[in-house]
Copies of this chain bind each other. A is one copy, B any other.
Amino acid sequence: MRLSELFTKTTKEIPADESALNARLLIQAGFVNKVMAGVYDYLPLGLRVLNKVANIIREEMNAIGGQEIFMTTLQDPATWRAANRWDDQVVDNWFKSELKSGGEVGLANTHEEPLAKLLTRHIHSYRDLPKYIYQIQTKFRNELRAKSGLMRAREFLMKDLYSFSRTEAEFQEFYEMCARAYLKIFDRVGLGKNTYRTFASGGSFSKFSDEFQTLSASGEDLIYLDEKKGLAVNKEVYTEEVLKELGLEKANLVEKKAIEVGNIFLLGTKFPEALGLRFRDQAGRAQPVIMGSYGIGLGRLIGTIVETSNDERGIIWPAAIAPFQVHLVSLTKSKSPIAAADKIYQALTEIGLEVLYDDREEKTPGEKFADADLMGMPYRAVVSEKTGDKIELKLRSENNTELLTRQALIARLK
């Protein structure tokens, strides 16, 4: 894509109420637009990141047998009343609205009840189970304060998978498989080195859950980490008893701030029972389905990547989710090097590379370099009169540059 054609511009104007680094950098670089606190539009560069993250998640969920669906935002209060989660006293972050035809509707803040209800039409026998169903869809949470940028939004895309199993053992087997898939996802999006499976409280559904925590000074959670074992414990369940159960020694643990990027837990039979989702076992007896929940917030994941991969000049995108692999900068106004840069742009895109091509004539070299650093593509390639026939290549994450011929550049980036 040519930067001269892209409609977004980098900016120095950040909304005064935006204190989170992730949102500040993403707004500055033109990846997102702030509509109101906790509500962000994805602009072309941000949408490319979002789609790449979504596809990585999708691939890993499909690989463990996930079937993708797309549920609705508008929700019937009756479905939520069945498990007593419609009342604002019980769930305090509902957005609700009214139908012109009469009656209320809710904006889905999660989808356990509607999915359990939907499945009563499709799951009848032990032969129909187990099933693993997921979606990548918007959730709405009426947060009193939304001040962590994309990390705690009022409207955000979430991958939520729900498992439906016949037995605890069947549930447990999938749960561990999904935990491994989660580590793979965090690895693929570039958070592998500092993301840990973390033992945590189960909230209202079960005694314990597993979180996936990414180390970050801006994290809201405190975890106790055994770096050698690659395991951690959330402060909320940091007791002698839990450590013993997990085989962890206090002496080997370090306290760290971290951001929760994923969470998996047993839901049990609460929602299936409330919505009437049962199956007939081999003896013909009705049994409740056992449900599990597996979530990843996509905006939060992107926010975490920005929080943990940046420097004073801007974002440093991991290659797998960068909107473009190469930021090609043309530095001169005289005709022939422009033609040379055009040819390199064409050659790189022809071999399938994603190239953001800064062909803008009105910008100075300093402005172009600053934009490249702010936007954070993995490679920067510069064509100028100074470099002549060669191209100057630099990794965003490193300082040294290299002069390469066009052939050598193509061979390197291929």
Which A residues lie at the B interface, using CB under 8 A? 5-9, 11, 13, 30, 33, 35-37, 39-44, 47, 50, 65, 67-76, 92-93, 95-101, 105, 107, 114, 118-119, 121-123, 127-128, 131, 133, 138, 140, 142-145, 154-155, 362
A138 touches which one: B44, B47, B138, B144 (CB < 8 A)? B138
Residues of the B chain whose Cβ atoms lie less than 8 Å from the Cβ of A131: 7
Asked if B67 contacts A35 (CB within 8 A), the reply is no
A9 touches which one: B50, B122, B140 (CB < 8 A)? B122
Residues of the B chain whose Cβ atoms lie less than 8 Å from the Cβ of A121: 9, 11, 13, 33
Q: With A9-B122, A95-B97, A100-B143 given, is the CB distance from A35 to B68 under 8 Å? A: no
Residues of the B chain whose Cβ atoms lie less than 8 Å from the Cβ of A70: 41-42, 47, 50
Central interface residue in A37, A74, A114, by most chain B CB within 10 Å: A74
Bound-complex Cα distance A47 to B335 (A): 49
Q: List 19 A-B contacts (CB under 8 A).
A: A7-B67, A7-B122, A7-B123, A9-B122, A35-B76, A35-B114, A36-B76, A40-B72, A41-B69, A41-B118, A42-B71, A93-B100, A97-B107, A99-B142, A100-B142, A100-B143, A100-B144, A101-B143, A107-B107
A133 touches which one: B7, B37, B75, B114 (CB < 8 A)? B7
Residues of the B chain whose Cβ atoms lie less than 8 Å from the Cβ of A98: 95
Residues of the B chain whose Cβ atoms lie less than 8 Å from the Cβ of A30: 122
Residues of the B chain whose Cβ atoms lie less than 8 Å from the Cβ of A68: 44, 47
Bound-complex Cα distance A57 to B351 (A): 25
Residues of the B chain whose Cβ atoms lie less than 8 Å from the Cβ of A42: 69-71
Residues of the B chain whose Cβ atoms lie less than 8 Å from the Cβ of A5: 65, 67
Residues of the B chain whose Cβ atoms lie less than 8 Å from the Cβ of A37: 101
CB nearest neighbor in B for A70 = B42
Closest 5 CB pairs of A and B: A42-B70, A95-B97, A7-B131, A41-B71, A100-B142
Asked if A44 contacts B69 (CB within 8 A), the reply is yes
CB nearest neighbor in B for A145 = B101
Chain B: minimal CB distance from A99 (Å): 7
Bound-complex Cα distance A35 to B155 (A): 21
Asked if A35 contacts B69 (CB within 8 A), the reply is no
Asked if B6 contacts A67 (CB within 8 A), the reply is yes
Asked if B43 contacts A140 (CB within 8 A), the reply is no
CB nearest neighbor in B for A50 = B70
Residues of the B chain whose Cβ atoms lie less than 8 Å from the Cβ of A40: 72
Q: With A7-B133, A118-B33, A133-B7 given, is the CB distance from A140 to B73 under 8 Å? A: yes
Asked if A41 contacts B154 (CB within 8 A), the reply is no
Chain B: minimal CB distance from A116 (Å): 12
Asked if A128 contacts B7 (CB within 8 A), the reply is yes
Q: With A118-B41, A362-B127 given, is the CB distance from A47 to B33 under 8 Å? A: no
Asked if B74 contacts A140 (CB within 8 A), the reply is yes
Residues of the B chain whose Cβ atoms lie less than 8 Å from the Cβ of A50: 70
Residues of the B chain whose Cβ atoms lie less than 8 Å from the Cβ of A140: 73-74
Chain B: minimal CB distance from A227 (Å): 38
Bound-complex Cα distance A6 to B67 (A): 8
Asked if B123 contacts A155 (CB within 8 A), the reply is no
CB nearest neighbor in B for A95 = B97
Chain B: minimal CB distance from A385 (Å): 24
Chain B: minimal CB distance from A37 (Å): 8
CB nearest neighbor in B for A361 = B127
